[in-house]
Chain A
Amino acid sequence: MTVMSNEEFAKRMMLLAKPASEFKPTAYYDSDGDCIEFLAKPDPFYEERIDDLVTVYYSQKTGEVIGSLIKGVSKLAKRLAERLPGFMITIEDRRIRLEHLFLAGMWLQTSEPQAIHVLAYKKLAEIAERTSVEVSAELCGAA
Chain B
Amino acid sequence: MASDSETPGRVSLSAIDPQTGKDTEVLISHRRMHTVARRSLGHAKECGLLVPYTLQQPTAIFEGLRKDEDEDRRIPGWYCYCAKPACSFDENGEEQPPYPNEVFLVFVNRDKVAYNWRWARADKNDDRLPENYEERFERRAL
Contacts and interface: CB of A to CB of B under 8 A. Distances in A.
Interface of A: 1-4, 6, 9-20, 22-23, 26, 28, 30, 32-35, 37, 39, 42-49, 52-53, 57, 60-61, 69, 71-72, 74-76
Nearest to A33: B115
A32 B113 contact: yes
A53 B10 CA distance: 27
A60 B47 CA distance: 17
Instruction: Say which size band chain B's interface belongs to.
Output: 35 or more
B6 interface: no
A77 B13 CA distance: 32
B109 interface: yes
Contact of A13 (B12, B48, B105): B48
Interface in B39-75: 39-49, 52, 56, 67-70, 73
Interface of B: 1-2, 9-14, 25, 27, 29, 31-49, 52, 56, 67-70, 73, 88-93, 99, 102, 105, 107, 109, 111, 113, 115-116, 118-121, 136
A10 B11 CA distance: 12
A2 B35 contact: no
Contacts of A11: 48
A39 B91 CA distance: 13
Q: Which of B10, B35, B116 has the most CB of A within 10 A?
A: B116
B12 A20 contact: no
B70 A2 contact: no
A6 B44 CA distance: 14
A81 B2 CA distance: 38
Contacts of A9: 11, 13, 48, 52
A11 B47 CA distance: 11
Contact of A44 (B29, B38, B67, B88): B88
Contacts, number: 153
A71 B13 contact: no
A23 B40 contact: yes
B32 A2 contact: no
A74 B42 CA distance: 30
Given A20-B92, A30-B116, A35-B115, A75 B39 contact: no
Contacts of A2: 9-12
